[in-house]
Amino acid sequence: MALLSVNGLKVDFTTRNGVTHAVDDVSFSVEKGEITAIIGESGSGKSVACYSLLGLLPMPPASIEGGSAEFEGRDLLRMSEAELRQVRGRDIAMIFQDPMTCLNPYMTIGNQLVEPLLCHRRISREEARQRAIELLDEVGLRDPQTTIDQYPHQFSGGMRQRVMIAMALINEPKLLIADEPTTALDVTIQAQILRLLADLQKRRDVGVIFISHDLAVVADIADSIVVMEQGRVVERGDRQAIFERAEHPYTRKLLAAIPGGSKAPSASTGEDLVQVRNLCTWFSQGKHHESVKAVDDVSFGIRRGEILGLVGESGSGKSTIGRSLLRLVPVTSGEVLFDGVDVTALEGKALKQMRRRMQMIFQDPYASLNPRMTVFDTLAEPLLLHGIESRKSVEQGVLKLMDDVGLARAFIRKYPHEFSGGQRQRIAIGRALATRPEFVIADEPVSALDVTIQAQILELMLALGQEYGLTMLFVSHDLAVVRHIADRIIVLYKGRIVEEGLAEQLFEHPKEDYTRQLLESIPGRQLL
């Protein structure tokens, strides 16, 4: 018998604009000792379905309209709040997406770990602490005897996620719900966490629901896969069936969205548009500390018309390089030659002129647009500033940009919050292209987006790159994405260049161990 079997679950959201069927007749089951993956884009109802099982949805606006969820012979949906509290944390535990916000910054991790133990079991504080230490050891935290008394900010993101996992496991739950547990993490860390989850699940024989927007992530670990679209289950099956014989067009679309292969080499001519020589960007930590060498003696060139991929984990200095080129952070030493002119020495008018020729697309489309400016204002600003359009013709210019980036003209007076993440990124791309730049730095432009949207935006960038004749620096932690878009790739580690080469070459024949390690971390790499 299945550990959990959900039948005909229906969840509605009632808002001022009417009723939304967030989850509509969804059924799935989770077996003991198996990983069931629920896959779908944001808004597909995958998280809502799982949260409703544990009574974690705010009601109202949410309401459960029907269905049942049998867990060990009892229906979760018909339990009282008090009964549910007994189940939550003891029999069913959750791991959330963002390990940064899910731990209380004012409590040591030890105290946070023993809390659920003390709450659900008769156990002394000393015993609880002992259990916590064992568990931290099991999830791979080094030296748990001492780290147990540290605060969350003293851990890296990956380590925090391990702590979260330990916290979820401490009461030996029978079912674990993991909601995008690796989305906020680097590829290498993601690979470690995935391996850890798969390991723990086998060893402890628990059932796992793994929620993700990315099929590739679950390609190595899931036993069965449920694909959701707009509140409904469109396809289900075991892993092989989904990856090899997917039938539903939506599943195929998801599979196709996994970035794979590499593009045809672009028409880059020989000369370098950008030359970076011995670039150092150090951040001072006050007088008594050594500076953080975010970028340490990096030299490279970017040919005209080329897309250069810059790859590394967080802390590798990849974003700082991009920001240094645009003078958004002060450069410590070195030169950045743009078309023969040293950008680091420019001031005033000359700098403004140069900025017109180099633009940036930012990572987070939710933060990179001024929330109080309409699409028109956002796009008109650079056009007017650089005298590309006059006051009279600016509307035409804005509409042209919107056409180029694939935004409906009717949206011109809308504000950023009225758009989805992908549409916002289109606005941001339009803004960067408004000044008719020759060189664009894209700083993780798709990492905040769902895979299907990610694929659309990448296509758009490639097409616009051609149309506008752009040279591009594409910064990302995601190797699969970079391979898809870049001609050449530079691998960074701790502020230094580890390896540099043509995209295909680097993937097929990596020279350095670190590159190899990165390549092995790509989820579902056998799909590529």
Partner 1 sequence: MNEPILAVGSVEQGTSLWKDAWIRLRRNRLALFGLVLLVSFVILALLTPWIAPYAYDDQNLDLGASPPSAAHWLGTDIFGRDLLTQILYGGRISLAVGFVATSVALLIGVTWGAVAGYVGGRVDAVMMRLVDILYALPFMIFIVLLMVVFGRNLLLLFLAIGAVEWLTMARIMRGQVQTLRQQEFVEAAISLGLSPVTIIWRHLVPNALGPIIVYTTLTIPSVMLLEAFLSFLGLGVQPPQTSWGLLISYGAETMEEYPWLLIFPGMALTLTLFALNFLGDGLRDALDVRGSTD
Q: Is residue 483 close enough to count as binding partner 1 by CB under 8 A?
A: no
| Residue (189 or 453) nearer to partner 1, CB | 453
Q: Is the previous residue joined to 61 through a cis bond, with omega within 30 degrees of 0?
A: yes
Q: Nearest distance from residue 368's CB to partner 1, in Å?
A: 4
Which stretch in 149-157, 275-283, 355-363, 472-480 sits in contact with partner 1 by CB under 8 A? 355-363
Q: How far is the CB of 441 from partner 1 (least distance, A)?
A: 9
Residue 354 CB, nearest approach to partner 1 (Å)? 8
Q: Which of 175, 13, 198, 185 is nearest to 89 (CA)?
A: 175
Q: Which stretch binds partner 1 (CB under 8 A): 24-32, 262-270, 271-279, 374-382?
A: 374-382
CA distances to 158, 481, 485 from 455, in Å: 26, 9, 11
Residue 438 interacts with partner 1 (CB under 8 A): yes or no: no
Q: How far apart are CA 174 and CA 205, in angstroms?
A: 8
How far apart CA 507 and CA 300 sit, in angstroms, is 19
- If binding is defined by CB under 8 A, does position 151 make contact with partner 1? no
Using the rule CB under 8 A, give the single segment among 140-148, 236-244, 377-385, 509-517 that binds partner 1: 377-385
d(CA 266, CA 262): 11
| Size, binding site for partner 1 by CB under 8 A | 53
Given 97, 268, 423, 454, the residue binding partner 1 (CB under 8 A): 423
Q: Phi first, then psi: what are they for 378, rounded to 5°?
A: -60, -45
Cβ neighbours around 195 below 10 Å, total = 14
Report residue 286 as tokens: 């006050």
The least distance separating partner 1 from the CB of residue 480, rounded to whole angstroms, comes to 21
Give me the least distance between CB of 325 and partner 1, in Å please. 10
Task: Tell me the window of 68-76, 95-103, 307-315, 371-379 that interacts with partner 1 (CB under 8 A).
Answer: 371-379
Residue 74 interacting with partner 1 (CB under 8 A): no
Residue 202 in tokens? 């086998």
Long-range contacts, 458-465 (Cβ 8 Å, 24+): 458/259, 458/484, 458/485, 460/405, 460/406, 460/426, 460/429, 461/429, 461/485, 462/263, 464/404, 464/405, 464/429, 464/433, 465/266, 465/307, 465/440
453: contact with partner 1 by CB under 8 A:
yes
Minimum distance from residue 373 beta carbon to partner 1 (Å): 7
**Per CB under 8 A, does 252 bind partner 1?**
no
Q: Which two tokens stand for residue 502?
A: 């043509």
Q: How far apart are CA 509 and CA 265, in angstroms?
A: 18
Residue 351 within binding range of partner 1, rule CB under 8 A = yes
Residue 339 in contact with partner 1, rule: CB under 8 A: no
DSSP letter, residue 88: B
Distances from the Cα of 68 to the Cαs of 2, 45, 234, in angstroms?
A: 14, 17, 19
Task: By CB under 8 A, name the one of 326, 433, 481, 519 that touches partner 1.
Answer: 326
Closest approach, Cβ 485 to partner 1, in A, equals 20
Quote the CA–CA distance of 404 and 461 in Å, as a whole number: 11
Instruction: Give yes or no for residue 56 binding partner 1 (CB under 8 A).
Output: no
SS3 55: coil
CB of 75 vs partner 1, minimal distance in Å: 33
456 binds partner 1 (CB under 8 A): yes
CA separation for the pair 308, 175 (Å, rounded): 44
Q: Does 450 bind partner 1 (CB under 8 A)?
A: yes
Give me the least distance between CB of 430 and partner 1, in Å please: 12
> What are the residues binding partner 1 (CB under 8 A)?
16, 41, 43, 323, 326, 328, 351-353, 355-356, 358-360, 362-364, 367-374, 376-377, 381-382, 385-386, 399, 406-410, 412-413, 415, 417-418, 420, 422-423, 426, 428, 431, 435, 450, 452-453, 456
